[in-house]
C-alpha cells in the first residue's frame, strides 16, 4: 500500500482543506492511538504545536481522537518540534504529535508523529496507520473505540518550557559560557519564541530577540530560517557577534556571522564534524546528509579523511541512515541538523549551541570560524505545476538526460518533486556557474512547457 496522507515529513496541507481538517485529524489520532496501544497500561500521547491559528482547530480534534481510543493526552502548547521527541521519551509516552507545517506560511499546517523512542515514524508504520482509514478497512476505527469507563483524559503540562530549556542548556559544554557575546535570535514568530531567547540569555549572552510576537498569522512571514535577511540586518544594526534564524517549529536554523554573511546547514555540519572529530567524539567516520548538500562539503570531508553519506531529501531519511550506520551527525543544507548524541530529530537551538561552543573555544570572530569550506556554484529553481506528472513527460526526461550528459563528472544534478507542495525542484552543482545555470534553465523550461 502506498502512502497517500503521509509525505516526507508527516501529513501536510492547507488548513481546513483535506487532509488538514478536524475530521481527518480525529481519524488519524484514532488510528495512531490504536497502532501504539500495546498492553494494559494507561497509554499516553504528548501533543505540541507551533503558533499558527489552525493549531487551535487541530489540537482539540487530535485530543478527541486519542481520548476516544483510551489514550491520555498531555498538551504541551507552543513548543519546538524536537521538544516533542524529547518529551515523548522523558515522559515515557507511547506517542508524540507535533502540529506544525514547519517553514510553510500560516495558511498551511501539518501533523508529525513520533514513536515512544522519540523518533519519527517509519514508512511502514505510517502505512499501517493509513490502512485503518481506507474504505476497505470496513469500520476498523469504530470497532476499536474504548468503552466509556476506559476513555482517556487530557491535561496540560505546566513546566514544559522549563524542562526543554534545561535539556537544551545541558548540551552546551559545562566549562563554557556565552558571556560577552551579543546574539540575534530570529524565532520566526513560531514555536521557539519563548524558549530560544531564554536558553541564550541563561547561558550568559546578550540577546536581541526578533520575530517573537506571534499572532497566529505571522509565523515565517518575512522572518526565520527561510527569510533570514531580517536576522542578517539585525546582526549588523546591533553589532552582534552571531545571528540565529530558526524556522516556525525550530527544527532547522540558518546562521549569520558578525558581518551578516549567511552560514548554511552544510557549513554548520562541517564545523561540528571537524570539532567532534578532533575531540574523538565523531561516530561513523563522517556525517550523513542529503543529495542536496554542496559538492564542496563532500570534497572537504574527503580532505579530512571523513566520509559524506547521502540520502534522499528529508531529515527523516537522514536519521534512518544515521541509526543504521552509527553516525552521530547528519542534516540538510537547509539547516536541519541532527545531533543524535542529544536529540532524535533536527534541533536548531542545539545545533546553534554547538557552533557557539566552537566560536567560544577558538577565541576568534565567527567569520573566521564558520566558513569552513568553499562551496561550489549551486543553482536551484522551483517550478510550480497545476496537474499531471511533469517528470513522466518524455520531453522532460530528455532535458534531464541532456543536462546529465553536459555536466558529466563536472557536477551533479538533482531533480525531485516536493513532498509538501506542487513543485518540482531542480538543482545543479558544479565548477562552472554559467554551465549549471544553463542546465537548470533548460530543464525548468521543459517542465513549464509540459504543463497540461
What are the boundaries of each domain within the chain?
6-157, 163-259, 263-369, 378-449
Query: Closest by alpha carbon to 49, among 201, 156, 170?
Result: 156
DSSP for 107-169 reads TEEEEEEE-TTSPBPPHHHHHHHHHTTSGGG-SHHHHTPPPGGG---EEE-TTHHHHHHHHHH
Report CA torsion sign: 178, 179, 184, 188.
positive
Burial of 151 (0-12, 13-18, 19+ CB in 10 A): middle
Question: How many CA atoms within 13 Å lie on the side-chain side of 326?
Answer: 5
Q: What is the dihedral of CA 124, 125, 128, 130, to 10 degrees?
A: -100
CA–CA dist 450, 433 (Å, integer):
26
CATH superfamily of 163-259: Alpha-D-Glucose-1,6-Bisphosphate, subunit A, domain 3 (3.40.120.10)
Topology (CATH) of 6-157? Alpha-D-Glucose-1,6-Bisphosphate; Chain A, domain 3 (3.40.120)
Beta strands in 404-445 (DSSP E): 411-417, 423-430
Task: Give CA separation, 69 vs 44, 55, 77, in Å.
Answer: 11, 21, 22
Three-class secondary structure of residue 189 per DSSP: coil
Burial of 391 (0-12, 13-18, 19+ CB in 10 A): middle
413, 402 Cβ separation under 8 angstroms? no
Q: Which three cell numbers stand for residue 155?
A: 491535561
Query: Closest by alpha carbon to 42, among 145, 150, 155, 160?
Result: 150
What lies within 8 Å, CB to CB, of 168 at 6+ separation is 195, 199, 347, 349, 350, 353
409, containing H or E segment: none
pTM of the model: 0.92
User: Could you check whether 6-157 and 263-369 share the same CATH topology?
Assistant: yes
Angle in degrees, 0-180, between the axes of helices 394-407 and 433-449, rounded to the nearest 10: 170
The set of catalytic residues is 102
Please give the DSSP secondary-structure letter assigned to residue 80: -
Instruction: Give me the phi and psi of 32, to 5 degrees please.
Output: -65, -40
Q: Residue 2's pLDDT is what? A: 63
* pLDDT tens by residue, the chain, 452 residues: 567 899 888 999 999 999 999 999 999 999 999 999 888 899 999 999 999 999 999 999 999 999 999 999 999 999 999 999 999 999 999 999 999 999 999 999 999 999 999 999 999 999 999 999 998 888 889 999 999 999 999 999 989 999 999 999 999 999 999 999 999 999 999 999 999 999 999 999 999 999 999 999 999 999 999 999 999 999 999 999 999 999 999 999 999 999 999 999 999 999 999 999 999 999 999 999 999 999 999 999 999 999 999 999 888 899 999 999 999 999 999 999 999 999 999 999 999 999 999 999 999 999 999 999 999 999 999 999 887 789 998 999 999 999 999 988 888 899 988 866 788 999 999 989 999 999 999 999 999 988 76
33, 71 Cβ separation under 8 angstroms? yes
Q: Which three cell numbers stand for residue 256?
A: 549569520
What lies within 8 Å, CB to CB, of 295 at 6+ separation is 376, 411, 412, 429, 430
CATH code assigned to 263-369: 3.40.120.10
Three-class secondary structure of residue 3 per DSSP: coil
The architecture in CATH of the region 378-449 reads 2-Layer Sandwich (3.30)
Amino acid at each position: 500500500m502506498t502512502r497517500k496522507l503521509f509525505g516526507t515529513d508527516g501529513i501536510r496541507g492547507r488548513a481546513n482543506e483535506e487532509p488538514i481538517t478536524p475530521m481527518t485529524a480525529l481519524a488519524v489520532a484514532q488510528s495512531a492511538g490504536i497502532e501504539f496501544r500495546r498492553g494494559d497500561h494507561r497509554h499516553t500521547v504528548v501533543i505540541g504545536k507551533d503558533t499558527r491559528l489552525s493549531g487551535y482547530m487541530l489540537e482539540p480534534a487530535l485530543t478527541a481522537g486519542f481520548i476516544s481510543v483510551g489514550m491520555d493526552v498531555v498538551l504541551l502548547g507552543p513548543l519546538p518540534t524536537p521538544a516533542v521527541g524529547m518529551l515523548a521519551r522523558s515522559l515515557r509516552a507511547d506517542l508524540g504529535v507535533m502540529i506544525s507545517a514547519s517553514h510553510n506560511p500560516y495558511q498551511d499546517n501539518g501533523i508529525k508523529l513520533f514513536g515512544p523512542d522519540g523518533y519519527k515514524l517509519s514508512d511502514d508504520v505510517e502505512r499501517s496507520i493509513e490502512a485503518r482509514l481506507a474504505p476497505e478497512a470496513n469500520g476498523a476505527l469504530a470497532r476499536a473505540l474504548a468503552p466509556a469507563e476506559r476513555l482517556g483524559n487530557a491535561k496540560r503540562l505546566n513546566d514544559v518550557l522549563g524542562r526543554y530549556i534545561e535539556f537544551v542548556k545541558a548540551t552546551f559544554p559545562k566549562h563554557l559560557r556565552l558571556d560577552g557575546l551579543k546574539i540575534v535570535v530570529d524565532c520566526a514568530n513560531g514555536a521557539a519564541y519563548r524558549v530560544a531567547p531564554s536558553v541564550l540569555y541563561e547561558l550568559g549572552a546578550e540577546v536581541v530577540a526578533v520575530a517573537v510576537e506571534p499572532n497566529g498569522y505571522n509565523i515565517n512571514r518575512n522572518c526565520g530560517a527561510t527569510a533570514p535577511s531580517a536576522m542578517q540586518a539585525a546582526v549588523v544594526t546591533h553589532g552582534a557577534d552571531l545571528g540565529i534564524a530558526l524556522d516556525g517549529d525550530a527544527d532547522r536554523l540558518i546562521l549569520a556571522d558578525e558581518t551578516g554573511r549567511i552560514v548554511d546547514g552544510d557549513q554548520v555540519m562541517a564545523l561540528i564534524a571537524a570539532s567532534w572529530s578532533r575531540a574523538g567524539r565523531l561516530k561513523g567516520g563522517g556525517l550523513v546528509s542529503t543529495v542536496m548538500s554542496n559538492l564542496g562539503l563532500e570534497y572537504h570531508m574527503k580532505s579530512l579523511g571523513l566520509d559524506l553519506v547521502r540520502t534522499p531529501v528529508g531529515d527523516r531519511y537522514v536519521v534512518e541512515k544515521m541509526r543504521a550506520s552509527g553516525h552521530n551527525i547528519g542534516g540538510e543544507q537547509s539547516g536541519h541538523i541532527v545531533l543524535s548524541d542529544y536529540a532524535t530529530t533536527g534541533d536548531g537551538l542545539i545545533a546553534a549551541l554547538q557552533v557557539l561552543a566552537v566560536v567560544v573555544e577558538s577565541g576568534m570572530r565567527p567569520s573566521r570560524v564558520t566558513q569552513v569550506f568553499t562551496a561550489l556554484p549551486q543553482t536551484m529553481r522551483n517550478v510550480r505545476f497545476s496537474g499531471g506528472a511533469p517528470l513522466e513527460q518524455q520531453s522532460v526526461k530528455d532535458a534531464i538526460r541532456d543536462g546529465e550528459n553536459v555536466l558529466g563528472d563536472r557536477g551533479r544534478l538533482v531533480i525531485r518533486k516536493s513532498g509538501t507542495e506542487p513543485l518540482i525542484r531542480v538543482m545543479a552543482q558544479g565548477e562552472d556557474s554559467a554551465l549549471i545555470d544553463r542546465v537548470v534553465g533548460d530543464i525548468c523550461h521543459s517542465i513549464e512547457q509540459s504543463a497540461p
